[in-house]
Structure 1
Amino acid sequence: MNPPSATRPNTNAVGRPTMRQLEYLVALNTHGHIGRAAAACYVSQPTLSTQIRQLERHLGVSITERVGRGIVVTPVGRELADRARAVLRDTDELLEWGRTSTDELIGPLRIAAIPTAAPYLLARILPVVRERHPDVQIHLDEMKTLVLVDVLTTAQLDLGLMALPIPSEDIEHLVVLEDPFLLAMEPGHRLARRPAVTSGDLAEETVLLLENGHCLRGQALEICRDAGAREVGKGGTSLTTICQMVAAGMGVTLLPRSAAPIEARRGAGIVVRPFSDVVPSRQLALAWRGRSPAAPLYRDLAVLIAERLADLNTTSPPAAARQEPGDVPDAE
């Protein structure tokens, strides 16, 4: 046996980096902070720090540099993180190919949805997944759009439920729901006496919006600007919070119809009305990596999900959300 080259590391002696170490490196580069990276990987800070130091010994380079009281990823570390991301993606696709070599998905299936869809649609979607692919173990998460796109593109996720447009050319999708917006208000609001509202009605209203980072905020802002809304409130962390603010008389909001059965249920303190002129809406899509070996199965699954959600493709609000006890009856 020839001795190891003097100019190349002896990988048999020092060992190869583990997949977990590569995941920690990618997380550290993504978050730029040991604590946030450890939280994202569901490990303690000492565990992540120890593994990063071991990775530095494996590779013979400095991945991090201490600056003041914190650390930053070095230029070499950033380059390594990009390469590690590609290795993890290819490895996941290798595993994915192995478990999708038949016409059924098997093993772990990682699904995430945006926060304005997850609480309202996952309960309807997951039974479809289980019926079509009974041997999968579903892992769920909730992520804002940009994070979801990143982890989906890098094969840390298999499927994502999000609103269009999707800011990535590497992701394929199929629209599973046309989700119109309803105007939500307190029962005593002047517009609650009407069976429907117009976009022009927004010009006299304070419209409450989600905080930055939610794609629904951008969609609602565009609608409000077109309608000439007088003032736009902001800062709600969830649709539930926004709806509680509406119930308290702080303003009105644009509520996706898919959320109305929960957020505008009887006793919630708000009512919703459809738009009678131009109906604002969003498109929700199931998305996956275009190069995934399971892409044909994911597309088939998206078709089935769209069929299951077909009853939501209507501009009328759900009956339970149209009227509060003591509210003025809707006109026929």
Structure 2
Amino acid sequence: MNLAGLSLRDLEYITAVAEHLHFGRAAQACGVSQPTLSGQLRKLEEFLGVEIFERSPRGVLVTRRGEEVVAQAKRIISEARRLFEVVRIGAEPLTGTLRLGVISTLGPYLVPFLLKPLRARYPELKLLLTEGHTRVLVRQLEEGELDALLATSPIGDSELVELPLFREELALAVPRDHPLAQVEAVNPDDIPVPELILLAEGHCLRDQALELCPSRLREGSAELQAASLETLRQMIAAGSGVSFMPQLAIQVGALLDDMVAYRRIAGGQHMRDVALFHRPSFGRIRDIRLLRQSIGEILAEQSAVKVHKPGGRARESA
């Protein structure tokens, strides 16, 4: 087959339609007219000899064979982007655009600590932040849609490189009038499991909560769920129950402090590890490692969390 009949622009059309499942929105995302995009995709399907999309008045679907084409198109586009990354290796560190994913239970609480100091250190760096659930962000990183990811460790079966950043404590958040609000530290056996509120499916903090009380808490046993940490905090303030809250979220969320009490859990084992992840083949590894170093220094200066030493998983108190 002659490769002259295939272009990266065609592959961008494929991935855009697969993402939006709508030719009009895909054309808008690609900056072309819908007839141009639709016509080019028809030619491409004829050239490849495969129907990538199933078209009907009710919408657009990706065919079974089309799913393989879409996956390969994403990989090719990712490798094409690497060409530009390789060219940039000799440029100034942390300049240009860096697409950084941040899990939703971390982004609103960590990013405020970082933006101003990072801008002061690297004025030519443009951070494009994407917030979401771990699974979705990991897939985007693996497929080249993101350059790096801030998430809790571990992230499951993945070939991504992990650079440990810091460890933050998980505290038990209870209403101010709750009996546990009067104690200095909560014994793990005293955690009121029947009152526990979990985050919705997809949040890594939900999985951690299930692991913290494995003998007494099972999937589906919690009657109340929250879509976000802030909703969770408000439910606790309203007296709906108790839950686990990361250290950074406690520091940033001061508005409900008169209604929510945070109590350490005895034993010191209720923690979550946060790391910066990237693809092994990413061309700007030097930038990623420099970003990791900068984040560690910024958090240590502000005594926000316990920061990992650059050499490994050993920790030093910030």
Q: TM-score, normalised by structure 1?
A: 0.79
Q: Who is 2:208 aligned against?
A: 219
Q: CA deviation at 1:120?
A: 0.3
Instruction: Specify the SS of the correspondent of 1:105.
Output: coil
Q: Who is 2:73 aligned against?
A: 84
Q: CA deviation at 1:205?
A: 4.3
Q: CA deviation at 1:224?
A: 2.9
Q: Who is 1:64 aligned against?
A: 53
CA distance in 1, matches of 2:88, 2:181: 53
Change over 3 Å in CA distance of 1:227–1:50 after alignment to 2: farther
Change over 3 Å in CA distance of 1:48–1:151 after alignment to 2: farther
Residues 21 and 61, structure 2, Cα contact 8 Å, conserved in 1: no
Aligned pairs, number? 300
Give 1:155's match in structure 2, choosing from 119, 128, 144: 144
Q: CA deviation at 1:18?
A: 4.3
Q: Who is 2:11 aligned against?
A: 22
Q: Who is 1:293 aligned against?
A: 283
Residues 161 and 280, structure 2, Cα contact 8 Å, conserved in 1: yes
Q: CA deviation at 1:209?
A: 0.9
Q: CA deviation at 1:99?
A: 2.1
* Bigger shift: residues 263-272 or 96-105: 263-272
Residues 210 and 237, structure 1, Cα contact 8 Å, conserved in 2: yes
The alignment yields a C-alpha RMSD, in angstroms, of 3.1
Q: CA deviation at 1:82?
A: 2.2
Change over 3 Å in CA distance of 1:186–1:156 after alignment to 2: same
CA distance in 1, matches of 2:71, 2:155: 22
Q: Who is 1:255 aligned against?
A: 245
CA distance in 1, matches of 2:33, 2:260: 48
Give 1:313's match in structure 2, choosing from 297, 305, 308: 305
Q: CA deviation at 1:162?
A: 0.6
Q: How do 1:1-332 and structure 2 match up within 5 A?
A: 11=4, 16-19=6-9, 21-29=10-18, 34-35=21-22, 38=25, 43=29, 51-60=37-46, 61-66=50-55, 69-203=58-192, 205-226=194-215, 231-265=221-255, 267=257, 269-310=259-300, 311-313=303-305
Change over 3 Å in CA distance of 1:202–1:24 after alignment to 2: farther
Q: CA deviation at 1:303?
A: 2.2
Instruction: Specify the SS of the correspondent of 1:244.
Output: helix
Q: Who is 1:325 aligned against?
A: none
Q: Deviation per CA, 1:153-198, whole angstroms, max 9, x where unpaired?
A: 1111112111111235331121212011101011100000111111
CA distance in 2, matches of 1:36, 1:265: 44
Q: Deviation per CA, 1:63-113, whole angstroms, max 9, x where unpaired?
A: 112478344322332222122112111111111112232351322111120
Q: TM-score, normalised by structure 2?
A: 0.82
Instruction: Specify the SS of the correspondent of 2:11.
Output: helix
Q: CA deviation at 1:149?
A: 0.6
Q: CA deviation at 1:308?
A: 2.0
Residues 25 and 52, structure 1, Cα contact 8 Å, conserved in 2: no
* Bigger shift: residues 166-175 or 176-185: 166-175
Q: CA deviation at 1:234?
A: 3.9
CA distance in 2, matches of 1:242, 1:225: 21
CA distance in 2, matches of 1:167, 1:37: 37
Q: Who is 2:315 aligned against?
A: none
**Structure 2: which amino acid aligns with 1:305?**
I
- Same amino acid, percent of matched pairs: 31
* Bigger shift: residues 270-279 or 186-195: 270-279
**Structure 1: which amino acid aligns with 2:305?**
N
Q: CA deviation at 1:58?
A: 2.9
**Structure 2: which amino acid aligns with 1:182?**
A
Q: Who is 1:323 aligned against?
A: none
**Structure 1 residue runs without a partner (length 5+):** 1-7, 315-332
Change over 3 Å in CA distance of 1:290–1:214 after alignment to 2: same
CA distance in 2, matches of 1:172, 1:37: 37
CA distance in 2, matches of 1:63, 1:112: 29
Q: Deviation per CA, 1:27-85, whole angstroms, max 9, x where unpaired?
A: 554x5x6159948x9739x9678625522313414211247834432233222212211
